[in-house]
Amino acid sequence: MTTYRQLSSPQLSGLCHALGLGNTARECLAVQAFLMEPWGEREVPSLAPYPSRIGDDHSPYEYSVQFARGSAEVRLLLEAQASAPGLFANQQAARRLNERIVAQYGVDLSRFHRVEDLFCPTDPQGPFSLWHAVCFDGAGRPDFKIYLNPQVIAGVSGRDLITEAVSRLGLAQVAKPIIEQLVARGAVPNYFSLDLAARLGSRVKLYFSHARATFEDLERVLSLAPTNQVGDVSRFCKAVLGRAMTFSRKPVCYCFSFAAGADAPVAVTFHLPVEHYMDNDASIMNHVSEFMASEGLPVEAYQRAVKSLARRDLANNLGLQSYVSFRREASGLKLNVYLSPELFAAPYAQFPFAEEAISSSNSGR
């Protein structure tokens, strides 16, 4: 019998050590164990008991690492699992986890409570209701976030739901014009995220998927954020993919971040679903490494991180690295790599571009 905790603990510990953050591993593992209570003690079955959209193989958690010049930050995203997992049952488990996080870590749920009724109906629609994420700083201290589903209410458009949500949070003036422009360009709202920290600059993040986007589409979209630099997204995509293309497989995704008092988006992040557009994980690592080197980002730390989670030959399989994203800030470019624990399968190990696999996981990031 192997439990979720027995699998996830060495994964996170190995990731911390690979990034030179071994001194924080104990603190990170304690937070992970806390977030996975009580389902972390369950045996991991051979097939996913519930089709979580956290990962393409339906793993209910996923790691990511944010790289900046001279630094790396470990992150964890997970979906709370009920005793009998399901849409409403997992929503209830996640809401209970909210209260436990408040009691243990003193996070601020006030903004969530202002939109809770919008995103937590009694009859939720797929693919999820509420996810949790945590970022660890250099000392292993946690910074919590939640992710909500704009498509959760039948008959209510994602645009209408997030427009109401940003209005309740006092961000309508800056966020609503962005929402309208993106939806008019064919973007679909797919995540709504809140920082759970009572501090100046805590963000509201709006995620959109964009089917069949071209480089020209993406340049126009990212130009809506003042932090963007012309040509950034095209250069990033060409470097990582090795060619220009229309994104006709899994849609790309982008995220606009807003904060109280700012009269424009404070940042935009572009998410590229690399596993749907590359041949294998080794090729992904080679291309991402070249791009990181061109930006002065820590290439060796990235490569160690990927290898720390690999349980198979990267050159002959695909699925460990699901997304690569970047965000331009005043301090420079930051790059995130998303890493699957691959609890159930490497979904594209033999048939990387099978149409049925692509359509079944077409939910964006």
What ranges do the domains of the chain cover?
4-360
List of residues 6+ apart from 329 with CB closer than 8 A? 227, 267
Q: What 3-state DSSP class applies to 308?
A: helix
Nearest alpha carbon to residue 130 among 179, 97, 160: 97
Give tens-digit pLDDT for 47-106: 999 999 999 999 999 999 999 999 999 999 999 999 999 999 999 999 999 999 999 999
Give pLDDT tens digits along the chain (365 positions).
Answer: 899 999 999 999 999 999 999 999 999 999 999 999 999 999 999 999 999 999 999 999 999 999 999 999 999 999 999 999 999 999 999 999 999 999 999 999 999 999 999 999 999 998 999 999 999 998 899 999 999 999 999 999 999 999 999 999 999 999 999 999 999 999 999 999 999 988 878 999 999 999 999 999 999 999 999 999 999 999 999 999 998 889 999 999 999 999 999 999 999 999 999 999 999 999 999 999 999 999 999 999 999 999 999 999 999 999 999 999 999 988 889 999 999 999 997 444 433 333 333 333 444 45
Q: Is 66 helix (H, G, I), strand (E, B) or coil?
A: strand
pTM (two decimals): 0.93
DSSP state letters, 83-151: SS--HHHHHHHHHHHHHHHHHHH----HHHHHHHHHH--SSPPSS-SEEEEEEE-TT--EEEEEEE-TT
| pLDDT computed for residue 244 by the predictor | 84
Beta bridge partners of 195: 145
Closest CA to 203 of 137, 131, 111, 113: 111
